[in-house]
Chain A
Amino acid sequence: MTVGVRHRVILTGRLTPLLLLPARQFGTLIGLVALCAVLWILTPHFLTVSNLLNVAEQTSINAIVAVGMTFVILSGGIDLSVGSLVALAGVVLGTGLQSGQPLPLALALALAAGLACGLGNGALISWGGLPPFIVTLGTMSIARGAALLFTEGRPISGFDESFRVLATGRAGFVPAPVVAMAVVYAAAHFVLSRTTFGRYVYAIGGNEEATRLSGVPVRFHKTIIYGVSGLMSATAAVILTARLNSAQPIAGMMYELDAIAATVIGGTSLMGGDGNLGGTLVGALILGVLRTGPNLLGVSSFLPQIVIGGVSIVAVLLDTVLKRKNRT
């Protein structure tokens, strides 16, 4: 396979992209550091251990959803159903726990629900030949409706401490959701960078037709990619449910947009084939810090919406400009 990022750089053979590509990845990190510096200057409450852990904890849910989104976007697709899948998996989990199922079984059921919906998306996209936008838009509505119907619109709340520890527990001084985020990123990064499946994700996004012609079972792998996304949504649902002590059928609204924003700010190209999970994590942290800022500074909470929109556009703009230079 010669369609991976590094290979492509070598193929284009110019010096500029070699210098620019790392700049794009580091740029996001520099952005995060600069943002933190600004907040550090503006408020004494930002740069404290407890606040940084607080930001990391609040970021964890979106960051985990964004892992799945990164797989999907790297393969040149999009997944709009992630937020609804968070709600659906949460409701499955909540129902399982409330009906007295053992914790491992309830967790397995929730993860299976997310995985199954994701695989369904993938199957329709690859074998049905439907556009990802339409399929996942449909699933978004179906999963949300199912979650609402199943619960009659009511949240399921009040869980055992043995379950809640998944969100309230601490490993040393690190909150459990942050640990979960670290584990998920380490595992996903390994899969993406060290396994054949991971390289196929880039290859499919880089040039699906060429990948198919090289004898890669593209349909199979695309199905798995959307399955990963569903699984990540379900993982996020576990943390969210434990955190709120409640499974809400209306949970996770607009999560798809946050996940897309984190991925795109993190430098993953919407065209597919280019990007990495480190960028996504930094992108999610930028969103997290931007959301926390107004609370710490005491300014209007409407402000971050504007800033996040602006940052997303600038990130994509930068991407496009780099691509153009790449081509010349």
Chain B
Amino acid sequence: MKRACLLVGMTLAIGCNRGPATTSTTGKPTVALVLKTLNHPFFVDMRRGAQEAADRLGVTLQVQAAEREIDVEKQMQIVENLIQTGVQALCITPSGSREIVSALVKAKDAGVPIIVVDTRVDAKAAADAGLRTETFVGSDNYEGGRLAGDYLVKATGGKAHVGILEGIPGHETGDSRLRGFRDAVKSAPGITIVASQPANWERDQGFNVFQNMLQAHQDIDSVFACSDLMALGAVEAIAAAGRRGKIKVVGFDALDDAKKAIAAGTMEASVAQFPAEMGRAAVESAVKVMRGEKLPPDINVKLDLVTRDNVK
């Protein structure tokens, strides 16, 4: 066991040399950014934007994330641990809109101002717990869903059989995108949604679920995926079924892979969010709060539709 201790000690020591220490040994205030995960390009971009803003504004940024996007219990632990280190502000992308509330209440009680990023906290759960957050920084996911829906109506001339790949049920982000999309296609009576199933934000599940959809509904000619990873999974499933170019795929997030697919013509369009922009705005808001400035309840980050015409 001695060897085990040595190993642990060494690894921690090495790890420590690599990253800056949490506390403001330099006297700089520390802002924490808690992400859903760091194994998704979206959040990696967000971290980059946040880091740039932190460097510019002279604050120390501490970024932490759970290993898996859906692990809200782990995210709760991270928040609890960060409170122990005495961070001055907390920016967070909640893994669960309701579940995270108890952790945020603890932060609030410890006097840490909270900036919610990308995914909203459930309004009712927050009100019940008496939680007040400083602001919400993010794109309007409902609007993004509408953008995708309107585009599909135009691209198909108002006649389509659509299959939808949903995110994890109960996630505010995915639910809003879905509502936006459904509301937009309602205007076109020629568009029918033939299937709508969750693929849990994941690429391989997007592949499997869409493959099964194609088995059950031969007539599907369009797909709306609530995220690009699922959309890219669907693209693979379409290729595997030998129906490349016959099914229009619209995704969400405008990931690099998705842009390549749009340029190559295997995907039709994707709603672009600007995660780096969100990270930047989140850290800026945190600094404003620390200075005692008032913030608007919502800080909207722009959305854009990437299609073959404007893809870079």
Contact = CB atoms under 8 A, between A and B. Distances in A.
22 contacts: A28-B1, A31-B4, A34-B9, A35-B9, A35-B12, A38-B8, A42-B21, A51-B81, A155-B170, A157-B98, A157-B99, A157-B122, A243-B73, A245-B99, A248-B99, A253-B70, A290-B8, A297-B15, A301-B65, A302-B38, A310-B8, A311-B8
B1 A27 contact: yes
Interface of B: 1-5, 7-9, 11-13, 15-16, 18-23, 38, 62, 64-68, 70-73, 76-78, 80-82, 84-86, 96, 98-99, 101-102, 122, 124-125, 128, 168-170, 198
Contacts of A50: 84
Interface string A238-267: 001001111010110100000000000000
Contacts of A318: 1, 3-4
Given A153-B198, A302-B38, A293 B12 contact: yes
A8 B76 CA distance: 45
A58 interface: yes
Contacts of A31: 1, 4-5, 8
Contacts of A105: none
Given A38-B13, A318-B1, 4 more contacts: A153-B168, A245-B102, A292-B77, A315-B1
A253 B62 contact: no
A88 interface: no
Interface string A303-319: 10111001100110010
A80 B124 CA distance: 37
A311 B23 contact: no
A174 B54 CA distance: 37
Contacts of B71: 253
A217 to B, nearest CB: 37
B1 A39 contact: no
B15 A299 contact: yes
Nearest to B86: A45
Given A43-B23, A54-B81, A310 B7 contact: yes
Contacts of B66: 301
A245 B125 contact: yes
A58 B125 CA distance: 22
A295 B85 contact: yes
Contacts of A253: 68, 70-71
Interface string A46-82: 0010110010011001000000000000000000000
Given A38-B8, A39-B12, A246-B98, A30 B72 contact: no
Contacts of A314: 1, 3-4, 7
Interface in A260-312: 290-303, 305-307, 310-311
Contact of A292 (B21, B38, B81, B86): B81
A168 interface: yes
B67 A307 contact: no
A250 B70 contact: yes
Contacts of B3: 314, 318
A172 interface: no
Contacts of A291: 77
A42 B5 CA distance: 15
A53 to B, nearest CB: 10
A243 B102 contact: yes
Contacts of A158: 98, 124-125, 128
Contact of A30 (B2, B18, B68, B102): B2
A48 B23 CA distance: 15
A314 B73 CA distance: 28
A24 interface: yes
Nearest to B124: A158
A244 B4 contact: no
A42 B1 CA distance: 21
Nearest to B39: A302
B1 A251 contact: no
A45 B11 contact: no
A38 B98 contact: no
A4 to B, nearest CB: 23
Nearest to A242: B102
B42 to A, nearest CB: 17
Contacts of B67: 301-302, 305
Contacts of B13: 38, 42
A225 B2 CA distance: 33
B16 A299 contact: yes
Contact of B23 (A39, A45, A293): A45
Given A27-B1, A54-B81, A152-B169, A43 B102 contact: no
A311 B5 CA distance: 8
Interface in A148-177: 152-155, 157-158, 168
Contacts of B18: 299-300
A310 B11 contact: yes
Contact of B102 (A154, A244, A301): A244
Contacts of B64: 294-295, 301
A154 B169 contact: yes
Nearest to A153: B169
Contacts of A100: none
Contacts of A250: 70, 168
A44 interface: yes
Interface in A217-250: 240, 243-246, 248, 250
Nearest to A298: B22
Contacts of B77: 58, 291-292, 295
